Structure 1
Amino acid sequence: MIRAAMPADIPVIHSLVRELAAYERALDEARATVEQLRESLFGADPAAYALIAEQEPDGGAVGFALWFRNFSTWTGTAGLYLEDLYVRPDARGAGHGTALLAALAAICVERGWSRFEWSVLDWNEKALGVYRSIGALPQDEWTVQRLSGSALHALAARADNPANSHAN
């Protein structure tokens, strides 16, 4: 069963995020707190949304998908960016990941959004296999770029105007 996350799910989402970070060999980089997740998902101005995969019959959470809306200037429409998708190891192979992806695809279609995108580690062969099986295509000509930490702050310092004067 797939359902929208609720505020009561924040502790389990936090736990799943930590499990995902450990699986991706980057647990030390997962610094989000329960409070940050609560504000980001259910605060006055949500930055992201989440779906929960539950195992029947007991209803325990076995996975999640965390996503946010993006925008394409080329298509002139919004899209959905999947930030995290994770299913606990003991629940893998039962279709929970594909069900989460299908639910996200349905959100895109229902809202008239043109794209559903995500990134995957190149060594995650099982995930890549699932993505190929549903018709996802790699965007080989694109390379993800990231600016963070001191480089982010150094570039921000070069701005002519204070950061808080920029429009959202």
Structure 2
Amino acid sequence: MKAVIQRARDASVTVNESVVGAINHGLVVLLGVTHEDTETDADYLVNKLVNLRIFSDEDGKMNHSLKDISYDVLSISQFTLYADTRKGRRPNYLQAAKPEQARALYDYFNEQIKAHHVDVKTGEFGEEMQIQLTNDGPVTIILDSAETK
């Protein structure tokens, strides 16, 4: 399971010209799921996500996590994180999980974030989405549960 997280001052996701999720300060999370992923992978990423000290304190030092402050998460499913571009010019997505498995783990991931008392807004799984955000910092971090294996 891979997550690209971006610290954001504000962010929104639109489907069919309607905003379906929006946050002010917080994190935008693009989440990709592969075939071997399980709830254990999601738990690892959630634990990292809510505890990463990437928000500034009063001295401007990155010293606060989502657990320390009342910021939100905008979570977007993104199968293209498992694009394989090694061959040819068109990426293949054979490493991305099938939609049923990916949706179940994406939903589980979001529920686990909520269990840490963090508000989560989402896009719409499987839909064409437009994402707007103001990256704060900029701070962009990639998490990968494969690093634990």
* Shorter-normalised TM range: 0.3 to 0.5
| TM-score, scaled relative to structure 2 | 0.37
| TM-score, scaled relative to structure 1 | 0.34
| Bigger share in strand | 2
Max Rg structure? 1
Greater RCO (Cα-Cα under 8 Å, separation 6 or more): 2
